[in-house]
Amino acid sequence: MVHQPGTFLDYNNADFVILGKIVEVTPKASFAEALRKGILSKVGLVDSGLCSRSEIVPSLADTYFFREELRRLFPCRPA
């Protein structure tokens, strides 16, 4: 254990990246497609999914991250 429980928040997305790769290999589909077919469409979430730089979603709010070395905010867009 790195920290005592309840004393520090140390978050990263590594587990989700690994899970995404497992999901892609198992049904032989992209993670976005597996998510859409396996979960989202089954519960009626037609406007939910994953963002990508290649698709423009009208009225989607941008998220930002702070680049310490440049001391400013930048749009956070997935690859």
Record the tokens describing residue 17, joined without a space: 């990246």
Domain membership flag for residue 6: no
pLDDT tens-digit series, residues 15-73: 888 888 888 888 788 888 888 888 899 999 988 888 776 777 778 777 788 888 989 88
Domain membership flag for residue 1: no
Domain membership flag for residue 2: no
Domain membership flag for residue 22: yes
Domain membership flag for residue 9: no
Residue (of 46, 35, 72, 45) closest to 27 by Cα position: 35
pTM of structure: 0.50
| Structural domain span for residue 53 | 14-75
Greater confidence (77 vs 63) lies with 63
Phi, psi dihedrals of residue 26, rounded to the nearest 5°: -60, -60
